[in-house]
Amino acid sequence: MEEDAAWVGLGIFGLVIMVDVLIIGWAPYGPWNDDSFSLGVLGMIGVAALYLSWYRWRFKQKGVVPWLRLWKDVRGGGVKVSIIGLMVMLGTWSLYSSGPFPPAGGLILNLIGALMILQGTYAILSSGYLSES
């Protein structure tokens, strides 16, 4: 494991991009002549940078997938991840049902919530019924 995986630079980059996307709202028109599409791409880049920064901070190594061997409490972590995933999905449904947000944002957030629930369920089952011992 790499001891000091640099996470601060990615975190600052992600925060700057997200401030632009959520508050300032500037984006180039790009080859597709649509600044809203460019703003969405910038938002996805910002979220990815924040996630990678969190991963490096949390697990002290470079990577993308939080393998279960990296978790300290697999069962408890699985329950927490599942609950947060459910809250993301419920929050998305309540926000996007009557809000001025674009539908694609709700689809992406629902996908993230569903993947969190899947990861949490796998962690719970692997520490219980599906464990090797």
Q: Are residues 57 and 76 in the same domain?
A: no
Question: 35 and 74 share a domain?
Answer: no
Torsion, Cα 29 24 58 7, to 10 degrees, reads 70
Cα–Cα dist 74/81, whole Å: 10
- Same domain? For 60 and 117 the reply is no
Residue whose structure tokens are 């944002």: 105
Tens-place pLDDT, residues 33-79: 877 788 888 888 998 999 889 888 888 888 887 778 878 888 888 89
Q: Give how many domains the chain has, as a whole number.
A: 2
Distance of CA 70 to the CA centre of its chain: 18
Which pLDDT belongs to residue 79?
Answer: 92
Q: What is the pLDDT of residue 90?
A: 92
Domain span including residue 100: 67-133
Residue type, 112: I
Residues 3 and 58 in one domain: yes
pLDDT tens across 90-122, in order?
A: 988 887 777 666 667 778 888 889 989 998 898
